[in-house]
Amino acid sequence: MGYLSHLECARCGQKHDPSVVQNLCRSCRFGPLLARYELDRVARDLTREALAGRSADMWRYAELLPVNDRENIVSMGEGWTPLLKLDRIGKELGLANVYLKDEGLCPTGTFKARGASACVSKLKELGVRALGMPTAGNAGGAFSCYGARAGIEVHVAMPSDAPESTPKQCSIAGGTVYLIEGRVNRSADFIGEGITRFGWFNAATFKEPWRVEGKKTMGLELFEQFGGELPDVILYPTGGGVGLVAIWKAFEELQAMGWIKNRTTRMYSVQTEGCQRLKKALDEGKDDTEPWTNITTAIPGMAGPPYSLGDSLCLKAIRESGGDVLIVDDEAILADMRHIAATEGTFICPEGASTLAALRRLRDSGGIGRDERVVLLNTGSGLKYMEFFQAKVLREEPGVDLFTRAAAGVA
């Protein structure tokens, strides 16, 4: 621990003191801050062999995480999630190496636990007592739970139609939940007022430097899980784009440490038809997006925001890596959510299922080789999304032989 050197503005490059509680760059006023480490020192002190014997959670990468004193780590065992080979799906698609990184096994039910663990730990270290944030739902749940464990007060604003599991998760952990009409940008405006009035730390996506660090560990794990190599393709369901930026940052750090020669993975962002801001900017050759105001998708983690401060970083990662943005519709996502459960046994969230729908498109367009190693990033558990599907069941009725009916096929 203690390898964190400074914070760097992703926009203007200005360096900032990482021991100061802050949000966006105070020089250019718009840039998100990224944590920078003394990577040559990390490379000297840390070996892959030493890593192999460490705890099976994301804090195995402590040298590449921002906390200085172990005492401040707020952890529930997040990370080191399984990398499942999907042989049946692979066979169907004519692809030999399809994998699912299953973040549904993280505490709180989604990969938001990684960002929350890193951020809440660092805030605890910096002495922050209360935070506020807008969320599509899952980040609020994760921050409420980690906040409870750290003794930090949490205020969460989310769209009133967020999956029911999320306000309940926040509430049971003692978070204060504000249900706000409209899309997540309205929740952001709302909580912004609370942040100004009460001085809560602003833990919104990309407005603080630490969530990226937690999500970065997904990239470090993939490196280890592929035996010290990178996969060829990653498909990532994109909301604010934190995870996509973070995984690319992890690979950059591994490269700087000399653990890999090149960043050979193609990064594919998956967006829905109802929110395509990255796709539009990529097609138009732009370095940043324009707000996508008419958001029509029902997939919570992909329904905006209309604009993310991380968009320019996402576009950069996609271009540098030779990836693309893949667009899928809600219907295809929900169909693949069922399909992957029925063929592979993994009950994943709709956001995660979008990566399978996108993989079909990528395969159809010839954008992928038969033997390439593909990672579908499943960001959470399907168990948080009870409203999204109906169970096919045989219900007892007087005078009906359910077994005969079952044999005829469950409708």
Ligand X SMILES: *Cc1c(COP(=O)(O)O)cnc(C)c1O
Where do contacts with Zn ion occur on this chain (CB under 5 A)? 9, 11-12, 14, 25, 27-28, 31
By C-beta, is 97 or 300 nearer to ligand X? 300
Site string for ligand X, 71-110 (x = CB under 6 A): ---------------------------------------x
State the minimum distance, in angstroms, from the CB of residue 15 to Zn ion: 10
8 Å CB contact between 269 and 244? yes
Q: For tokens 């390898």, what's the residue?
A: 3
Of 58-66, 233-241, 254-262, 355-363, which part binds ligand X (CB under 6 A)? 233-241
Partner from Zn ion, ligand X, none binding residue 348, C-beta < 5-8 Å depending on class: none
Site string for ligand X, 283-322 (x = CB under 6 A): ------------------x---------------------
The verdict on 239 binding ligand X (CB under 6 A) reads: yes
Q: Which of 31, 175, 209, 241 binds ligand X (CB under 6 A)?
A: 241
Q: What whole-number distance in Å separates Cα of residue 268 and Cα of residue 89?
A: 19
The verdict on 346 binding ligand X (CB under 6 A) reads: no
Q: What whole-number distance in Å separates Cα of residue 361 and Cα of residue 322?
A: 17
Coil vs helix vs strand at 66: coil
Strand-strand pairing, 15-16 and 33-37: unpaired
The verdict on 169 binding ligand X (CB under 6 A) reads: no
The verdict on 337 binding ligand X (CB under 6 A) reads: no
Partner from Zn ion, ligand X, none binding residue 50, C-beta < 5-8 Å depending on class: none
Angle at 389 between CA 385 and CA 391, to 5 degrees: 115
Three-state secondary structure of 189-240: HHHHHHHHHHCCEECCCCCCCCHHHHHHHHHHHHHHHCCCCCCCEEEEECCC
Q: Which of 240, 304, 323, 382 binds ligand X (CB under 6 A)?
A: 240
Angle at 69 between CA 65 and CA 75, to 5 degrees: 65
8 Å CB contact between 357 and 316? no
Q: Which of 132, 147, 175, 237 binds ligand X (CB under 6 A)?
A: 237
258-289 burial: b if 16+ Cβ within 10 Å, else e:
ebbeebebbbbbbbbebbbbbbebbeeeeeeb
State the minimum distance, in angstroms, from the CB of residue 41 to ligand X: 29
Q: Which parts of this chain interact with ligand X (CB under 6 A)? A: 110, 112, 138-139, 205, 237-243, 301, 349, 351, 379-380
